[in-house]
Structure 1
Amino acid sequence: MTWYQADPLLARAMPVLRSVESVQHPLYLAGGAVRDLLRGVRLHDLDFVTSGDVRQMARRTADALGGGFYPMDEERGTMRVVLAEEGGGRLFLDFSRLRADTLEGDLRLRDFTINAMALPLGDEARLIDPTGGQTDLREKRLRACSESAMQDDPLRVLRGVRMALGLGLRVEAATLGWMRAAAAGLERVSGERRRDELFRLLEGGQVSSGLRLMDTLGALQAVLPELTALKGLSQSPPHQLDAWEHTLAVVQELEDVLAALAQDADQEASANLMMGLAVTQLGRYRQRFAEHLAERVHMDRPMRALLFLAALYHDAGKAHTRSQGADGRVHFYEHEGQSVRAWGSCARRLALSQAETERVESVLRHHMRIHHLAAQPHDPSARAVYRFFRACGPAGVDVCLLTLADVRGTYRTTLTTDIWQREVGICRRLLEAWWEGPSESVRPQRLVNGQDLIELFGEPPGKRIGLALDAVLEAQACGEVSDRVAALEFVRGWLADHPQDAPSGGKSTWKN
């Protein structure tokens, strides 16, 4: 077996790649693909460099493999081929023109030594490694290719954070200093590039550690500046930490909750009593959680990363709403609205889609809702469950997950079994309605429509029709209406009792 046959993507692409290269302009596999090949990791992205016509090579490759062709950066000569993967995923082959007169010169211009290796496409692999990347990879060391590497492209600071944590590497002292010196330059990097690198960090593990390292290097201010105001912001019990440390704790707890509820969770993830209680109540939804987190609000960015952004911004508004009562207790009244405002600034800076922005906004706006339900002496009623999902829609699942992390990040070691069981129990009640009985509890089938109200009751078109229809759906969810006759009778009474109603309870985020 040749070196490339061990990887499915390389084996699939190699015959075509060899047909598009030439003796004068050979193709070289380079960068992270070589690094991961040495690590024995399956490849999903291939990067090639050549002195030849990258547009022609990429287009011929796309045509031969049945993929899409996209010019990524005409000025720098970077083209992309996108291949469909079974299960809906995508594979990327990027073709770039050499940025120096020689391949070695190109490799020396890269970010880190472990990304500065290349392989020719022949059967006999001959590793080209001018900066010692293979040794650094073996010794688990992250080292910049040159003193100017970070200043040349400050985005490499974020990439370095992600790689150090994701690959378990120790950052060389000189490289760490260069990263710190270049961090302020991140503000000059486009929002789209910062977004993409941040999402890669959020999709990996050890997110809270990554954020701490970003903060230490001075990168947090350039990427997520709204969060820096939380540092040192004191909070009253049951909070055990200031607002910034609490945010980092919630991010860590979210990782732990997701790990415990993952399909492939090991026993260690739920070994402690509290997490074991959560798994007992919610473990039957493991597959549902996996499908939910794999959902893509945007085709290139999964829901999991958005959930971590919600965790980061859930208390961002506290910096602008802090007050202290006569008894000395600290309050943050209506901080949810300010958190939404801070998130809006972040979403615009990172050029996120409207759907992504609104999804996280919904989580932030309602992240206290389950805590309020838990404070009630009784279990949530059918009406409360319906109204929760009327307000949150699919984001209600995210609110449940964030709630569990928030409780643990708030109480820390003072968390009691009673408090935890109460919050977990309400999440179970909500998720049960969402996943097991949506047609009865969350989204009942409409028994009447707007045309019925116009024709049967003489109701003119307007907002009262929408309010009446919403009221019928709520009555159905509560078991008060079960058929069309009862629905029409309910509408008749509702119209009589609400001659001039105004909207309340927030607009629905889903449609029947």
Structure 2
Amino acid sequence: MQTVAQALARMGELAASPTVSKLATAFEGAGYEFALVGGPVRDAFLGRAVNDLDFTTNATPDQILAVVAPIAEAHWDIGRAFGTIGAKVAGETVEITTYRADAYDGDSRKPEVVFGESLEDDLGRRDFTVNSLALRLPRLELVDPSGGIEDLLAKTLRTPAPPERSFGDDPLRMLRAARFSAQLGFEVEEGTRAAMTALAPEIDRISAERVRDELSKLLLTGAPRGGIRLLVESGLAERVLPEIPALRLEVDEHHHHKDVYEHSLTVLDQAIDYEVSRGVLDSPDLIVRLAALLHDIGKPGTRRLEKGGVVSFHHHDVVGAKLARKRLRALRFDNDTIAAVSRLIELHLRFFGYADAAWTDSAVRRYVRDAGEQLERLHILTRADVTTRNRRKADRLGFAYDDLEERIAVLAEEEELAAVRPELDGADIMRLLDLKPGPVVGEAYRYLLEVRLDEGPIGPDAAEQRLRAWWAAREA
């Protein structure tokens, strides 16, 4: 946390940058108010990198365009209906928004856009006090009408207006509370938490796309666990991601199993650690994090209390994959993300048989083939899924997965494992068997693929012999 003097000095340096100074001079010259607002001001106090430049002004969108157009390399008005104009100035992308005073009407999923009259009014309708800070430009006057600096010092999230009104105006702010709590490491003030619980049903007014985007931002923070806990404890998760609170299974006094909810949060933590430490994927990786959080959501529906105090969750991987597909579709995730996450959940148990009995090369090939493009993510998820406190068991599983990855690497080098396919393609099959395109060609191809997976490369001549023998047996 920076001191006020340090933060103001940092903002002074930012104000002197070509982008900010050019904009501030242009708006002042045109007779309009102009201020840096929200996240950049907050982050200057927190000593965090300032990446996005957001400005606000009393100029209307048309007036903003008139000021910006002569000094910008490019500008766009895709957000004009919401009062926002985007531009590229001195090489940096910025957004400039007219003062706002909008709110929900109580039924609509989208706010009614109403322009405000003053900077203070604009700051008062924002989500949290720590985001309700502004720096008037070019004179470098800090504006903090709701005590945001004190809340930054106290590491507290609080709404500038009464939370019931703030969340009533825009229920998505309740999800943003969870996200900023995780992102900044702040505690949500008691009254604000109580309002989240009381108003949780209001989140139903928000579109699935906006909910999806906010959940994604939460998962992409450095430590999302606390934010997820807040969603569960407030009742919001029950409405937007009910599979997660459902993981809090009751434990029968005669049947014992690990806490699935806590286990899933730990797997998420560990997956993030592996994602970063392995350095193969672009981090943060939303697919890894969704798969880690959701990997056991099939357990509540498959839980069985067996004799001898044993609890089973047979086929929870398959059930969980189906549940994940359904939930992610409801949240309007794209098809590629849905397919990747559900595939990882479906495969997340596959490895554990390897630790008990070493696989054949054929089994290793199938593991790679079934994972496909998700192999690295499957490595991460499988390793993260080991949360046992039994050090001997954890080491055994870790060593076994090390061995599996080494075998995959060796086979990949020897056999081009990432592109496993038969030595004969569909055209070869049709030529050799004098066939026309049809289902039987696919049947023959799948047979040759099984041979390839079982035995590795056998060469085109041997593949032809196998094909003809298969065809003769089929025709007999």
- The reply on whether 1:383 has 2:362 as its aligned counterpart is yes
Determine which structure has more spread, i.e. the larger CA radius of gyration: 2
1:144 aligned partner, one-letter code: T
Aligned residue runs from structure 1 range 84-163, under 5 A: 93=95, 95-99=97-101, 100-122=116-138, 124-147=139-162, 148-163=165-180
Matching residue within 390, 393, 404 for 2:383 = 404
Q: What count of residue pairs does the alignment treat as equivalent?
A: 453
Residue 462 of structure 1: how far off its partner (Å): 2.2
TM-score, normalised with respect to structure 1: 0.77
2:83 matched residue in structure 1: 77
Aligned residue runs from structure 1 range 228-247, under 5 A: 228-234=245-251, 240-247=257-264
Whether the aligned pair in 1 keeps the contact of 2:296 and 2:320 (CA below 8 Å) is yes
Distance 2:425 2:89 in 1: 45
Quick one: structure 1 residues 335 and 13, their matched pair in 2 at CA, closer, same or farther if it must change by over 3 Å?
Answer: same
- The reply on whether 1:205 has 2:222 as its aligned counterpart is yes
- The reply on whether 1:461 has 2:437 as its aligned counterpart is yes
2:110 matched residue in structure 1: none
Distance 1:176 1:463 in 2: 59
Whether the aligned pair in 1 keeps the contact of 2:294 and 2:345 (CA below 8 Å) is yes
1:174 aligned partner, one-letter code: G
Whether the aligned pair in 2 keeps the contact of 1:31 and 1:118 (CA below 8 Å) is yes
- Secondary structure, in 3 states, of the residue corresponding to 2:95? strand
- Secondary structure, in 3 states, of the residue corresponding to 1:368? coil
Aligned residue runs from structure 1 range 473-488, under 5 A: 473=449, 475-476=451-452, 480-488=456-464
- Secondary structure, in 3 states, of the residue corresponding to 1:95? strand
2:311 matched residue in structure 1: 330
Whether the aligned pair in 2 keeps the contact of 1:385 and 1:433 (CA below 8 Å) is no
- The reply on whether 1:34 has 2:41 as its aligned counterpart is yes
1:102 aligned partner, one-letter code: S
2:327 aligned partner, one-letter code: C
- The reply on whether 1:437 has 2:443 as its aligned counterpart is no
Distance 1:333 1:51 in 2: 61
Quick one: structure 1 residues 417 and 490, their matched pair in 2 at CA, closer, same or farther if it must change by over 3 Å?
Answer: same
Residue 108 of structure 1: how far off its partner (Å): 1.0
Unaligned runs of 5+ in 1: 263-285, 295-301, 501-512
Distance 1:7 1:401 in 2: 40
- The reply on whether 1:343 has 2:324 as its aligned counterpart is yes
2:190 aligned partner, one-letter code: A
Unaligned runs of 5+ in 2: 1-7, 102-115
C-alpha distance after superposition, 1:54-94 (max 9, x if no partner): 256369758965557352371x3234458999xxxx96635
Quick one: structure 1 residues 399 and 322, their matched pair in 2 at CA, closer, same or farther if it must change by over 3 Å?
Answer: same
Distance 2:330 2:317 in 1: 20
Distance 1:55 1:78 in 2: 10
C-alpha distance after superposition, 1:389-426 (max 9, x if no partner): 22221222222211112122xx2346525532344235
Matching residue within 344, 363, 369 for 2:350 = 369
Quick one: structure 1 residues 431 and 479, their matched pair in 2 at CA, closer, same or farther if it must change by over 3 Å?
Answer: closer
Residue range with higher mean Cα deviation, 41-50 or 190-199: 41-50
Distance 2:84 2:456 in 1: 62
- Secondary structure, in 3 states, of the residue corresponding to 1:98? coil
Quick one: structure 1 residues 418 and 26, their matched pair in 2 at CA, closer, same or farther if it must change by over 3 Å?
Answer: closer
TM-score, normalised with respect to structure 2: 0.83
- Secondary structure, in 3 states, of the residue corresponding to 1:47? strand
C-alpha distance after superposition, 1:362-401 (max 9, x if no partner): 11111111112323x22x3222122122222122222221
Quick one: structure 1 residues 9 and 448, their matched pair in 2 at CA, closer, same or farther if it must change by over 3 Å?
Answer: farther
Residue range with higher mean Cα deviation, 249-258 or 310-319: 249-258
Aligned residue runs from structure 1 range 311-330, under 5 A: 311-330=292-311
Residue range with higher mean Cα deviation, 49-58 or 470-479: 470-479
